[in-house]
Amino acid sequence: MTELLIGTGGWAYFQVPGLESLEAYAKAFDFVEVNSTFYEIPGSKMVKSWRQRVPTDFEFSVRCHRSVTHKYKLEPVKEAIESFKVMTDICRILDSRFLVLETPPTLDFTHQKVESARNLLESVDLTGITVVWEARRKRGEPVPSGLVTLMKNYGVVNCVDLSKAEPPPESKTVYSRLFGRGEHNVYQFTDEELTEIDEKITRRNAETTAVSFHNVRMYKDAARYKIFRQTGRLPSVTKARGHQSLREVLLEDGRFPATRRELIEKQGWKVIDLTEKRRVHARVLLEKLPDQQFRNIEEVLSSLPRV
């Protein structure tokens, strides 16, 4: 049976009254990508406390500190090697299989840069650790062939966003950081998008697949996908249906007065329950509004045709 890990990029915003965030998160999920290590290297005492606060079968992956990828740009200088080694130490404290590198789209992978990356990978002991590499590219650009070859030769997992791309072939492990199709990570996944992701995972049938949601509704989307894998159904996202479901999401942070265009831009990415069995982005209803300014939510709803 193939292994599927479902989680999110961090636990800091997972709030349950009476529980510490990581402990609460570990009751809902069994996998997390530690996102904070990209911004600040934690002390070993803190890292040990993370491991102690979760069940023994809970899985961590570790996002590599930005000094390695963004400051020193994969050059095997002393400072980058030291940071890279600390990241592997963190992985071992957490018993983590995955160390995640994210390189910026501005990084040009010339032959010399690929060789620098090769030297960096060889500079530390990676025994028991799989390097996952999200090589961000400018829109539409493929990952350079020299980098793909390097990944294959060193057993590095080529990380892709399964909401936008197919999983890479051949690798025994698929690792996906999911952001969605919005601006940056401002997005929520519809039923169709979650099932499309699942179909890609099923077709690929890798030995291990890890999906880490990084969109603004990551906890809700990861939970919905986990429920789908367990039950075969995708649960509702709101307590209401149709126009009242739209009301519910507009009440969260809708600001008025607002034009049709402003509502689509600010609220259209959210998912609503159009019917009991169909969930869509709010823009499906908001695009039906007349092109005018609206003073409040009630005026928006009264201007919509019946679902």
Q: Are residues 83 and 62 part of one domain?
A: yes
Question: What pLDDT does residue 307 have?
Answer: 60
Q: Is residue 165 part of a domain?
A: yes
**pLDDT for 52:** 97
Count of CA atoms in the C-beta half-sphere (13 A) of 249: 29
Do 44 and 101 sit in the same domain of this protein?
yes
- Domain-ending residue, one of 231, 259, 275: 231
Average pLDDT over residues 236-241: 96
User: Does 307 map to a domain?
Assistant: no
pLDDT of 138-157, one tens digit each? 877 889 999 999 999 999 99
Rounded to two decimals, the pTM is 0.95
Question: What is the mean pLDDT of the segment spanning 150-177?
Answer: 94
> Both 201 and 278 in a single domain?
no
Check whether residue 218 and residue 248 sit in a common domain. Answer: no
Tokens of 217: 């509704």
Calculate mean pLDDT across residues 93-116.
Answer: 96
42 belongs to a structural domain:
yes
Question: 112 in a domain, yes or no?
Answer: yes
Examine the domain organization and report whether 212 and 288 are in the same domain: no
Q: Indicate if the pLDDT at residue 93 is higher than 80.
A: yes
Written in H, E and C, the secondary structure of the chain is CCEEEEEEECCCCCCECCECHHHHHHHHCCEEEECHHHCCCCCHHHHHHHHHCCCCCCEEEEECCHHHHHHCCCCCCHHHHHHHHHHHHHHHHHCCCEEEEEECCCCCCCHHHHHHHHHHHCCCCCCCCEEEEEECCCCCCCCCHHHHHHHHHCCCEECECCCCCCCCCCCCEEEEEECCCCCCCCCCCCHHHHHHHHHHHHHHCCCEEEEEECCCCHHHHHHHHHHHHHHCCCCCCCCCCHHHHHHHHHHHHCCCCEEHHHHHHHHCCCEEECCCCCEEECHHHHCCCCCCEECCHHHHHHCCCCC
Q: Give residue-wise pLDDT tens across range 242-293.
A: 999 999 999 999 999 999 999 999 999 999 999 999 999 999 999 999 999 9
Do residue 21 and residue 155 come from a single domain? Answer: yes
pLDDT for res 176: 98
- Are residues 214 and 248 located together in one domain of the fold? no
Burial class (CB in 10 A: 0-12, 13-18, 19+), 218: buried
Closest residue by Cα to residue 112 from 78, 146, 67: 146
Q: Which of 231, 261, 292 is the last residue of a domain?
A: 231
- CATH number of the domain enclosing 72: 3.20.20.410
Distance CA 242, CA 249 (A): 11
Query: Chain-centre distance of CA 198, in angstroms?
Result: 15
Half-sphere exposure of 227 (CA within 13 A, CB side): 13
Domain shared by 92 and 194, yes or no: yes
Q: How many CA atoms lie within 13 A of 3 on its CB side?
A: 11
Do 145 and 294 share a domain, yes or no?
no
Percent of the chain with pLDDT over 90: 94
227 and 255 part of one domain: no
The pLDDT of residue 2 = 85
CB 6 within 8 A of CB 220: no
Task: Give a yes or no: residue 237 inside a domain.
Answer: no
pLDDT number for residue 1: 58
Number of domains in the chain: 2
- Indicate if 213 and 294 belong to the same structural domain: no
Measured between alpha carbons, how far is 218 from 221 in angstroms, rounded to an integer? Answer: 5
Average confidence score pLDDT of the chain: 96
Q: Final residue of a domain: which of 189, 206, 231?
A: 231
Residue-number span of the structural domain to which 64 is assigned:
3-231
Confidence of residue 61 (pLDDT cuts 50, 70, 90): very high
How confident is the model at residue 138, as a pLDDT?
Answer: 87
pLDDT, tens digit (0-9, with 9 covering 90-100), for 195-224: 999 999 999 999 999 999 999 999 999 999
Question: Contact at 8 Å (CB) between 27 and 219?
Answer: no
Structure-token pair, residue 30: 């069994």
Using CA atoms, how far residue 256 sits from 88, 141, 297, 298, in Å, is: 49, 40, 8, 11
Identify whether residues 145 and 222 lie together within a single domain: yes
Q: Is the pLDDT of residue 229 over 80?
A: yes
Residue 236 lies in a domain: no
